[in-house]
Chain A
Amino acid sequence: GNSVTQMEGPVTLSEEAFLTINCTYTATGYPSLFWYVQYPGEGLQLLLKATKADDKGSNKGFEATYRKETTSFHLEKGSVQVSDSAVYFCALGPGDKIIFGKGTRLHILP
């Protein structure tokens, strides 16, 4: 069946550091891929998405490229800020339901 695996956290970085959160998936067909973010005390919200191979999703300085050859959708940001501290979820769809990874908690130190 479909599944998503993302790196375990917590990930702790200093402000302005480069961020990578790894996400790999197993799926049949041509899934869409998503990153959701949950800021402290808030609900989940969509951060970015990509619907076909080689698409790059981007938002708020974050990027992720849909790599079918490596079945990956790694999240990257060139210079993180304290305000990026949150839990990040990689997710896979479509299908009869979207599959979420377990989440990666990110702490950014000033």
Chain B
Amino acid sequence: GAGVSQSPSNKVTEKGKDVELRCDPISGHTALYWYRQSLGQGLEFLIYFQGNSAPDKSGLPSDRFSAERTGGSVSTLTIQRTQQEDSAVYLCASSGLAGRYYEQYFGPGTRLTVT
């Protein structure tokens, strides 16, 4: 079946502009995660959605970052007034509740470059 998809694959934007990044999780997966991976860095958790529960936004670095998940499926990560330090690869993952496995399936990522 289809995996996690993300769009666009690459985004170049000017400093100060807003950007939207999209994630389509695996059908039926109830959990959806956003991470950021900066050059040479590990995975930085941003936000987590689980079913109809309130999202865990504890990893969002500033109020310029927000995310929503519509209908329990597609998610959009929005970065307002982008800064150069926002340049990174933004990864989306989803997981389904399958016993205690909670394996995350990752999308290919969106590479964001802020000029």
Contact = CB atoms under 8 A, between A and B. Distances in A.
Contacts of A99: 45
B13 interface: no
Nearest to B95: A98
Most buried by B among A43, A98, A103: A43
A32 B104 CA distance: 12
Contacts of A45: 106
B42 A94 contact: no
Given A32-B100, A49-B101, A43 B106 contact: yes
B43 A100 contact: yes
Most buried by B among A45, A98, A101: A98
B42 A103 contact: yes
A31 B35 CA distance: 21
B72 interface: no
Contacts of A44: 43, 91, 93, 106
A9 to B, nearest CB: 10
Contacts, number: 58
A43 to B, nearest CB: 5
Contact of B102 (A30, A36, A98, A102): A98
A51 interface: yes
Interface in B54-68: 56
A34 interface: yes
Given A44-B106, A51-B100, A96 B56 contact: yes
Interface in A34-71: 34, 36, 42-46, 49, 51-52
A45 B107 CA distance: 9
A15 to B, nearest CB: 24
B101 to A, nearest CB: 6
Interface string A82-110: 00000001010111111111110000000
A51 B48 contact: no
Given A44-B91, A89-B42, A103-B43, A98 B104 contact: yes
Interface of A: 30, 32, 34, 36, 42-46, 49, 51-52, 89, 91, 93-103
